[in-house]
Amino acid sequence: MQSSAFREPSQPPSSAAIDHWSYVLLYSMGIGTLAVGALLLTVLMAVWFYGQFVWTFTHWDLADVRLAPFKSLAYVVIAGTFLAGTGAGFWIFSGAVWKNQRANTTPTRRTTR
């Protein structure tokens, strides 16, 4: 019979660094998703502004404008916004934004006469 003090581990302990970076990547992708949501909200506000003010006063309904040529550009803008938001989130959550900052030291005050 083996003593309970001497047991071989059945599984190796997981690396905390791998878990940490997977969470950082997941949170960063969440920031990218929020950036795309903010982009779509901005487009929605622009459409509202157009409908509320421009069309009301000018009756310019954009009937001659075709959006099909801009489809690939729209995909690039959405993907670029997601990648930029993910990159910004990774920069923040990885701690790189605070890496090169000096410690907050209180400046010495000079006494004036």
Separation between Cα atoms, residue 56 and residue 62, nearest integer Å: 13
Q: What's the pLDDT at 4?
A: 57
Is the sign of the CA dihedral 50, 68, 31, 92 positive or negative?
negative
- 3 by DSSP, 3-state: which? coil
Sorted by where each begins, the domain ranges of the chain are 20-63+71-98
Per this entry, what is the length of the chain? 113
Checking if the pLDDT of 108 tops 90, the result is no
pLDDT tens track for 51-63: 999 988 998 888 8
Contact criterion met (CB below 8 Å) for 25 and 90: yes
Decide if pLDDT at 35 tops 70: yes
Split at pLDDT 50, 70, 90, the class of 16 is: low
Rounded Cα distance, 100 and 98, in Å: 6
Residue that the structure tokens 């404008």 belong to: 65
Radius of gyration of the chain (CA): 27
